[in-house]
Amino acid sequence: MATMITRGGDGQGSLIGSKLFIVGAGSGMGAALAAMAVARGAKVALAGRSLDKLAKVAEQLGPNVLGTYSLDISDASQLDAALSEQGPYDHIVSTAADLTFKPFLKLTDAEIQAMVASKLYGPINLARSADKHLQQTGSVLFFSGLAAYRQGEGSSLVGAVNMALESLVANLAIEMKPKRFNVISPGVVDTATWDILSDEDRTAMFSALSETLPVGRVGQANDLAHAALAVLENGFIDGTVVNVDGGGRIV
């Protein structure tokens, strides 16, 4: 018996004509995803903290950009106002992360609050807004991280908030069905996150990590963007964590 492949207005199998709201679109994985989505025929709204960075991405992507929004997703009113302008959307994505890798007892209250805001309060607000500004057959995609599974000195709160996010998403997939909720869990990715290191230290760290990973390299922004597109386009992926870490979980 032949299998019917559904390609319709819900975006399954294609992003052509769909609308995406991408938080963290000013650089790295978010910007890479925006570019790939536009290349597949989608329209994108770009959100993040830096309007200058968003404007540069928008200039590169051209007329398929619905708008740029400087916002903090831990502020529910800001987020709701931004989504309402061009909504409803077919997909909402957040790569937002404000993380500090530091021994537990040296973390400040402000650093802990920033991590919780970006990885828990922010996603909670996005999910609530999705109830109003996401198509009934739409999807929400968050990004967690390898620290949820690989514990080590300096990653206690990073791992905790990422694991909490993954648990939240599994429940949202049940409570807010048929809207889909999923998570991409990256390993170490060569993005501006690591600009805090000198060029020499960054190169040395990536080189050392590459030797431990089965794929023999650290990730690139496009690796994560490709994975995100696969999840967005496949309407049968729901309540799932997709690990895109070069094998980091198994070594």
Domain ranges of the chain: 19-190+220-245
pTM for the full predicted model:
0.91
CATH architecture, domain defined by 19-190+220-245:
3-Layer(aba) Sandwich (3.40)
Read off the pLDDT of residues 75-130 as tens digits, 9 standing for 90 and up: 999 999 999 999 999 999 999 999 999 999 999 999 999 999 999 999 999 999 99
Closest CA to 240 of 248, 29, 249, 232: 232
- HSE-CB at 19 with a 13 A cutoff on CA atoms is 15
Sheet holding 180-186, edge to edge: 65-70, 43-48, 19-23, 89-94, 134-143, 180-186, 241-244
Closest CA to 66 of 48, 87, 52: 87
Read off the pLDDT of residues 6-35 as tens digits, 9 standing for 90 and up: 333 443 568 999 999 999 999 999 999 999
